[in-house]
Amino acid sequence: MPTYKAPLEDMRFVLHELFDSTSRAVLPGNTDFSRDLIDSILDHASRLTEDVLFPLNQQGDLEGCVLENGRVRTPSGFKKAYKIFCDGGWTAMSASPDWGGQAVPISVAMMVDEMLCSSNVAFALYPGLSRGAYVALSHVGGENLKEIYLPNLVSGKWSATMCLTEAHCGTDLGMLRTRAVPKEDGSYGISGDKIFISAGEHDLTENIIHLVLARLPDAPAGVRGISMFLVPKFLPKKDGTPGPRNGVQCTALEHKMGIHGSATCTMNFDNATGWLLGEPNKGLAGMFTMMNVERVAVGMQGLGIAEVAYQNAVLYARERLQGRSLRGPKAPTKPADPIIVHPDIRRMLLTMRAYIEGCRAVACWVGNELEVLQKSDDIDAKLMAEDFSALMTPVVKALFTDLGFEIASLAVQVYGGHGYIRDHGVEQFLRDARISMLYEGTNGVQALDLVTRKLPHDRGRLLSRFFGPVVGFIEQQSQNRVLEPFLPQLRRAVEHLQSATSFIAENAPSNHDEAGAASAEYLRLFGLVALAFVWTRMASISAPRIEEPGHRGKFYRAKMRTAQFFMDRLLPQTGALLAAIQSGSKIMMEFEDTAF
């Protein structure tokens, strides 16, 4: 049976030591969030995820969701767990107090998200979609719609979805066919079919709110003719409670590779009543306020699954007896040594650990900037935060989910043949991780967004928000002897990223395929440099404390050794990635189609 324990010690290190949590207290609305309160939130989240949600994860995978007469039944225990989740105020964590929320700092909420996804990612998807809808409705909804829907979304009484994809169009939303016809009362009749709708139908809430992309009768072609509509499952009565059933129905459940406990639905809208959100034909911009939130959240899914996979791999490596150490028996009284003595097992475990702890640090960095963007009164600070978060969103989504899948695969490898067997539970982590690389924009689309939109934006303004602090840190710490093992590698990796950026900037304007051909490698290169930066910073904090007595000294020594492993064994990939980028697009684009 798999196990999970929330990594609170490392989360607190990142929140309080790497990124001083008191710096967030100066932002409007954050004065009450002391270190003690943040730690209390993490403690309560750990108990919820370890004791309530994780025990349902494997059974939810085996049982799945069931569609009967248009209604979806979630796995056993999900309804009770959802009530506990709502009663604990977790649905209100990131929302504004204006609508019943708690306005918890975003970086703290991201750590809670990680725990949710480690413990039960299928369950986490139900409230997760509601949060994105809350953001979209807050940005573009009229006051009357906000007053009806936002308090119910924040309380968790109602949940929400985002309905974009149709059978013939996924990434290319300009091809969508769902129609919206104006009615005399100011509402619209929505007709069409949407597929792959997470939480489109379920039994956890009394109402489900669908945010639907559709076309008005006079809409221009392509993405310029997309509008967004709010379509509830039940039409609210005057008192705000759910009333008559709307013309929206779940017609099928997808049979998926993973996340079986999450209902992935085909939804039919048959002249369903909906209300316009935002301006006509401007729906894609409104929906992207939701999608960008979801993309960061999906990145945290990758990190969450990576963490639980790593924990179980470590436990198995300590207990499984196979073979003897290459340097002689380590457990001479036993028939064999635990496999953790073998170099290849240690390589895999350290790879997992280095990526996980690095990604957690990057997540907090991005979360802090999103907090400034959301709450600061400083216009310049908000602009810089907006630039940085826009640049990093595709990196967080794609890097974290790529690594989440790779780490889940490594966990299976550590288990050997037993990892391929359902009973141990690690094969579920691998299956559950795979979808995160696909939805909310495939990772290839994220890489293309990074190189074609984010890099050239305003002559590289967004990119300067990343290079500025990284290069500045290298210069400031150049005489720091503690960092002598780290700064040369970081500097070299930054040079590789700068060279790759220059190559794309010089070649893409005359041949757009160059950007596309370089995009995947560029995003991984970018991500590795971001990880190297935070690892060097973590080393600078940990080095002076490695001699502390007891457990804390052991923690900092492990942090230093993991940092060194990352710099020595993982960061050198940047050189190969640069070489691949500089090889150009010719070989792949001139390969004849018929030869594939």
342 forms bridges with which residues in the sheet?
Answer: none
Is residue 389 classed exposed, middle or buried when 0-12, 13-18 and 19+ CB atoms within 10 A define those classes? buried
∠ at Cα 306 (300, 311), nearest 5°? 130
Number of C-beta neighbours around residue 485 at 10 A: 16
Q: Where are the beta strands (DSSP E) in 457-582?
A: none
Start-end of H helices in 416-460: 426-434, 443-449
- Please identify which residue in the block is written with the tokens 């097992």: 345
Cα-based distances in Å from 324 to 313, 333, 570:
19, 12, 27
Alpha carbons 289 and 143: distance in angstroms, whole number:
18
Q: How far is CA 96 from CA 102, 134, 135, 311, 375, in A?
A: 6, 10, 10, 35, 11
Closest CA to 356 of 531, 197, 507, 202: 531
> Residue 440 catalytic?
yes
Q: Point out the catalytic residue in the list 357, 440, 514, 521.
A: 440
Helix (H, G, I), strand (E, B) or coil at 168: coil
Q: Dig out the tokens for 148 from the structure.
A: 């009806």
CA distance to 231, 267, 281, 566, per residue, from 270 (Å): 11, 10, 21, 54
Grouping H, G, I as helix, E, B as strand and the rest as coil, residue 196 is: strand
For 380, phi then psi, to 5°, come to: -65, -40
Torsion 21-24-26-31 (CA) sign:
negative
Give the integer Cα–Cα distance in Å for 241 and 382. 38
Residue type, 170: G
User: Is the distance from CB of 25 to CB of 34 less than 8 angstroms?
Assistant: yes
> Residues with catalytic annotation?
440
